[in-house]
């Protein structure tokens, strides 16, 4: 019954996807990257956008089989009927939107953005169902697993290749650019972000719609002695939180975990210590990271590097807490262990700006304006990281 429920949700998502593609296409500012080749071909031949979508999807499925060979799972052949249904859904929704033909650029832009939101919700719904990928994402998954590349990067390259190929086809057929415009780029940049938005806001629906989707974890109370102590310490840069945590652990005879967690996370995640150290409590270049990480929304099995680091860190911190009697510095420990018995959460801030500046200069040997800039930078990065993964401040 749960699997049937998943497929029903998937089919609903498939129809929503087709509606989003049609809205974007009707805006006449270009279509989504994955539909760019079928759409461009439909402008020059008698077949419809939906029919060319079916042809192109089958082509991508054949490529998957050639790439994966024996690793191609028979269940993935479901992509064929899914592709046929998706193609017919696209033609159906294009006909339903026969009246939509905006002439003013502002109205075209509104139609485009509305379509991106719909398509983003469709992507969220499909990934939520987690039964079968559409051929485009299936091809990306097959390629990335074969050449051992990152799914998100491969997805970016794939979308770019589809767009460029559609542009070349357009010049060959028409001698000018048709089917690929600014709307293609806009949809590539915001559909994934929209899917992530829905994923975060509607997370509470997943166990309701798909009861077996909730990950079952061991009862943490059974892994933690009633008399053990776990202390998490969040801190401002220069406040002395590290030293206070270390002294507290010494006084109480507890284990202290700070930089040693980096080594554990490196082993758990497979990333180098340098990579973990740089990204475990910071989100470098948040804008570019958000743009790149949105491409992972098309797969339920893949995560961005930053998300993988956080998941590995969460697992490490939970394991340390289960052993009991420890002090853990930073790393969203208060959030990760918010439901943990006997956990005490402390945040340490500097008594004044001057106090923190003095400590940064003395402890980290950073002088003058550089000390102030470093304080601001580290605190800002930690706040962004905490906000991203906990939703709190």
Among the candidates 184, 213, 242, a domain finishes at: 213
Q: Do 112 and 97 belong to one domain?
A: yes
Same domain, 256 and 137: no
* Confidence at residue 260, expressed as pLDDT on a 0 to 100 scale: 92
Please indicate, yes or no, whether residues 202 and 331 belong to a single structural domain of this protein: no
Q: Compute the distance between CA of residue 130 and CA of residue 80 in angstroms, rounded to an integer.
A: 17
Choose one of 180, 213, 246: the last residue of a domain: 213
pLDDT at res. 8: 94
Number of structural domains in the chain: 2
Residue ranges of the chain with per-residue pLDDT less than 70: 213-226
Burial state string for 53-63 with b = 16 or more CB within 10 A and e = fewer than 16: bbebbbebbee
Please give the pLDDT value at position 15: 97
Q: What gap in Å lies between CA 259 and CA 263, rounded to an integer?
A: 8
Of 213, 248, 265, the residue that ends a domain is 213
The 8 Å CB, 24+ separation contacts for 74-80 are 75/132, 76/132, 76/133, 76/138, 78/131, 78/132, 79/132, 79/133, 79/134, 79/135, 79/138
Q: Which residues pair with 329 in a beta bridge?
A: 233
Number of Cβ within a 10 Å radius of residue 166? 24
**258 and 164 fall within a common domain:** no
Domain that holds residue 164: 2-213
- The reported pLDDT for the residue numbered 87 is 97
**174 with 75, same domain?**
yes
Give dist(CA 340, CA 115) in Å, integer: 43
The CA distance from 363 to 350, in Å, is: 14
CATH of the domain at 309: 3.40.50.300
Q: Are 239 and 363 in contact (CB under 8 A)?
A: no
**Does residue 268 share a domain with residue 207?**
no
Q: Are residues 227 and 192 in the same domain?
A: no
pTM comes to 0.82
The per-residue DSSP string of 187-205 comes to: HHHHHHHHHHHHHHHTGGG
Residues 242 and 354 in one domain: yes
Q: 327 phi and psi, to 5 degrees?
A: -120, 125
Q: Are residues 183 and 233 in the same domain?
A: no
Q: Classify the C-alpha dihedral 130-132-136-142 as positive or negative.
A: positive
Question: Could you give the strand order of the β-sheet that contains 255-257, starting from the edge strand earlier in sequence?
Answer: 255-257, 326-329, 230-235, 343-348
Cβ–Cβ < 8 Å for 183, 30: yes
Residues 27, 176, single domain; the answer is yes
Q: In a 10 Å sphere around its CB, with 0-12 CB exposed, 13-18 middle and 19+ buried, how is residue 114 labelled?
A: middle
Q: Give the pLDDT confidence score for residue 226 in this predicted structure.
A: 60
Do 336 and 198 fall within a single domain? no
Based on the fold, state whether residues 231 and 251 are members of the same structural domain: yes
């Amino acid at each position: 019954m749960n699997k049937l429920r998943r497929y029903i949700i998937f089919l609903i998502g498939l129809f929503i996807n087709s509606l989003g593609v049609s809205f974007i296409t009707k805006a006449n500012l270009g279509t989504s990257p994955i539909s760019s080749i079928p759409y461009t071909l439909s402008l020059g031949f008698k077949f419809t956008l939906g029919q060319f979508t079916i042809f192109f999807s089958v082509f991508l499925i054949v490529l998957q089989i050639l790439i994966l060979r024996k690793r191609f799972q028979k269940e993935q052949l479901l992509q064929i009927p899914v592709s046929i249904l998706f193609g017919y859904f696209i033609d159906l929704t294009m006909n339903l939107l026969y009246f939509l033909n905006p002439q003013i650029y502002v109205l075209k832009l509104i139609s485009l953005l509305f379509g991106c939101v719909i398509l983003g919700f469709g992507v969220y719904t499909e990934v939520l169902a987690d039964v079968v990928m559409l051929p485009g994402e299936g091809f990306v998954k097959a390629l990335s697993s074969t050449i051992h590349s990152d799914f998100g990067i491969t997805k970016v390259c794939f979308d770019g290749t589809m767009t460029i190929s559609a542009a070349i086809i357009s010049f060959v057929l028409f001698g000018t650019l048709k089917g690929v415009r600014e709307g293609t780029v806009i949809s590539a940049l915001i559909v994934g972000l929209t899917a992530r938005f829905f994923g975060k806001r509607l997370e509470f629906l997943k166990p309701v719609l798909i009861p077996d989707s909730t990950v079952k974890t061991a009862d943490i109370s059974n892994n933690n002695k009633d008399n053990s102590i776990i202390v998490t310490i969040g801190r401002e840069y220069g406040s002395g939180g590290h030293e206070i945590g270390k002294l507290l652990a010494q006084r109480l005879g507890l284990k202290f975990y700070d930089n040693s967690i980096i080594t554990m996370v490196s082993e758990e995640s497979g990333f180098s210590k340098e990579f973990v150290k740089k990204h475990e409590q910071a989100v470098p270049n948040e804008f570019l990271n958000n743009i790149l990480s949105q491409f992972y929304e098309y797969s339920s099995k893949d995560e961005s590097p930053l998300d993988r680091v956080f998941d590995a860190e969460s697992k490490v911190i939970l394991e340390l807490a289960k052993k009991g009697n420890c002090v853990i510095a930073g790393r969203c420990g208060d959030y990760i262990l918010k439901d943990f018995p006997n956990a005490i959460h402390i945040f340490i801030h500097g008594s004044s700006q001057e106090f923190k500046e003095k400590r940064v200069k003395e402890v980290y040997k950073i002088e003058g304006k550089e000390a102030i800039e470093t304080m601001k930078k580290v605190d800002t990065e930690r706040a962004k990281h905490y906000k991203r993964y906990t939703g709190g401040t």
